[in-house]
């Protein structure tokens, strides 16, 4: 039964729309906790389009569950993470013009950049995670570099699920779910933690949550969108029930 980490980036997006103080991401984190979230996730982007440095520091001191910091593998972000000491840092690719993360990290091609970042957290209590596509070579390279966690990018699965209307007999959906399952099995066999996330929502999360060995799901936009209608605490509680069936 996987844990649920709720990404609250878009609470900050709403706040920044008026350059004000509300809604407050720290209060949102508390609401997520009260709804049953096992963790809180934020992505500190280079352009600070939603979460900012002060948010990260405030959340690290206020969050009572696991705090996960998504970040690009840059010296600036490593410095911030070493200062704030989140429970997990998840390294992700980042493009200035993308609306959201568009694909997994190329661990194979960027081993020379990523290795020193992983090494920077050696001897700390912070786990280092790689956000990668469901690809055996990427998993193997992550293990070689010493990553503690691999989070499988579920965006392709979510896109197919939407296209076929969630019909679990459709060959494309079966094939993509099998790819995620195989990658997860390899992650576990190599001694790393298997997490999953991206574009998961109330309709498609079930098959991913049921995969063998998956330890944690990261879900944000769907939960914050649902919260517009029912409140964040309720939206999180509804997702928790789906994840833990």
Residues 6+ apart with CB under 8 A from 106: 93, 138
How many angstroms separate the Cα of 221 from the Cα of each of 69, 106, 158, 179, 180?
16, 24, 13, 24, 21
Pair 90, 149: CB distance under 8 Å? yes
DSSP reduced 3-state for 226: helix
Burial track 127-150 (b if 16+ CB lie within 10 A, e otherwise): bbbbbbbbbeebbebbbebebbbb
Pair 100, 120: CB distance under 8 Å? no
Residues with catalytic annotation?
A: 43, 70, 198
From CA 213, how far away is CA 21, in angstroms rounded? Answer: 40
- Three-state SS string over 111-131 comes to HHHHHHHHHHCCCCCCEEEEE
Which of 59, 19, 58 minimizes the C-alpha distance to 41?
59
Pair 242, 42: CB distance under 8 Å? no
């Amino acid at each position: 039964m996987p844990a649920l980490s709720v990404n609250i980036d878009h609470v900050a997006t709403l706040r920044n729309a008026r350059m004000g103080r509300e809604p407050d991401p720290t209060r949102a984190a508390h609401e997520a906790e009260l709804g049953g979230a096992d963790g809180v996730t934020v992505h500190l982007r280079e352009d600070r389009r939603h979460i900012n440095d002060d948010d990260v520091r405030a959340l690290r001191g206020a969050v009572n569950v696991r705090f996960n910091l998504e970040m690009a593998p840059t010296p600036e972000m490593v410095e911030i993470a070493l200062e704030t000491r989140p429970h997990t840092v998840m390294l992700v690719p980042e493009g200035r013009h993308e609306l959201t993360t568009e694909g997994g990290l190329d661990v194979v091609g960027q081993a020379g950049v990523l290795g020193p970042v992983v090494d920077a957290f050696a001897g700390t209590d912070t786990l280092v995670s790689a956000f990668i596509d469901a690809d055996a070579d990427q998993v193997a390279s992550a293990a070689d570099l010493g990553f503690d966690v691999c989070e499988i990018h579920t965006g392709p699965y979510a896109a197919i699920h939407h296209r076929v209307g969630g019909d679990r007999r459709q060959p494309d959906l079966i094939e993509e779910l099998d790819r995620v399952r195989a990658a997860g099995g390899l992650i576990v066999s190599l001694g790393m933690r298997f997490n999953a996330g991206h574009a998961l929502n109330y309709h498609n999360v079930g098959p991913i949550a049921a995969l063998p060995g998956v330890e944690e799901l990261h879900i944000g936009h769907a939960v914050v969108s649902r919260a517009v209608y029912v409140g964040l605490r309720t939206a999180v509680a509804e997702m928790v029930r789906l994840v833990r069936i």
